[in-house]
Amino acid sequence: MISIKSAREIEIMRRGGKITSKTLTTLMAAAKPGVTTGQLNQLADESIRSMGGVPTFIGYHGYPAAICASVNDEVVHGMPGDRVLQDGDLLSIDIGTTFEGYVSDSAVTVAIGNVDEAAKRLMRVTQECLMLGIEQMQVGNHLGDIGHAVQRHAEAHGYGVVRALVGHGVGRKMHEDPQVPNYGNPGQGTLLRKGLVLAIEPMITEGTWEVATLEDGWTVVTEDGKLAAHFEHTIAITDQGPKILTLRDVAEHPDVARYRPSEEVAA
Ligand code: MF3
Ligand code: CO
């Protein structure tokens, strides 16, 4: 069942989304060579709680941490711990906050120290995929328009689109209907309505889109061991278009400057 949020609910989710985005900004600055993923998790837990939120992921199907920290070929759901981040690593940080009963969910992939051009390109294109998907969140569009926009951009650059995991509705629960695949056909699927809030989260790979889960039961990795990137926002559909509830401070982070398809360059 798809739930439609009132303006009042969206305002609560925007306030919660600020906790998520501010915490993510803090983690992005702290993610440096020599830091462990466990330390980032500790920082996230403290940051979320200091602003009156609760880390959504803790206890979710038994998940023990406030963030997912997925390195290099790990796509999503990497568990934070003793792993020391190395210069050249690609780190995906996924975080969720519950605030006044509503969830916001967001993720970024960041470079640890200096990464090569191939990694930079994968990060850039994945973030562009997210923005192109968000741009389709217009009243009267269909769910397939979102997935199509993401898939088209990723595949135009020769990348893979992970199929096994999808975006989702978000609200009182982290995972609500509908599922939001990062692939699809224009004009197909659920009609997009005002008040629908979605977490769009392209998971894009350098090589094959096939993934596997490690023995820990959580960590999802690429089958071919190549890199993956993951960006996610929580977004509400309004009469004025999509409203990103987890937008980070653009002044601090020019990487979130809005991507426009007209700026698209050949692969
Ligand atoms: N945030 C993830 C998502 O986008 C889910 C995290 S799984 C958890 O759907 F176990 F860590 F909570
Ligand atoms: Co999500």
Please name each of the domains of the chain with its CATH number.
7-259 (3.90.230.10)
243 pLDDT more than 60: yes
- The arithmetic mean of pLDDT across residues 35-58, rounded, is 98
Pocket of ligand 1 (CB under 6 A): 57, 60-61, 63, 68, 77, 94, 96, 105, 199, 201, 232
Maximum pairwise Cα distance, the chain: 48
Q: How confident is the model at residue 155 (pLDDT cuts 50, 70, 90)?
A: very high
Say which DSSP state 2 is in: B
149 pLDDT more than 70: yes
Instruction: Report the candidate in 201, 252, 209, 215 with the shortest Cα–Cα distance to residue 227.
Output: 209
Instruction: Report the candidate in 112, 132, 143 with the shortest Cα–Cα distance to residue 204.
Output: 132
Grouping H, G, I as helix, E, B as strand and the rest as coil, residue 80 is coil
Q: What pLDDT is recorded for position 127? A: 94
Q: What pLDDT is recorded for position 250? A: 58
Q: What pLDDT is recorded for position 95? A: 98
Ligand sitting nearest the alpha carbon of 234: 2
**HSE of 190, CA atoms in CB hemisphere, 13 A:** 19
Ligand 1 atom closest to 57 (CA): 12
| CB of 80 closer than 8 Å to CB of 41 | yes
- The arithmetic mean of pLDDT across residues 29-40, rounded, is 98
Tens-place pLDDT, residues 66-93:
999 999 999 999 999 999 999 999 999 9
Whole-number Å distance, alpha carbon 107 to ligand 2 midpoint, is 8
**What is the Rg, in whole angstroms, of the alpha carbon atoms belonging to the chain?**
17
Q: What pLDDT is recorded for position 249? A: 80
Whole-number Å distance, alpha carbon 112 to ligand 1 midpoint, is 22
Q: What pLDDT is recorded for position 156? A: 97
Q: What pLDDT is recorded for position 256? A: 44
9 pLDDT more than 90: yes
260 pLDDT more than 80: no
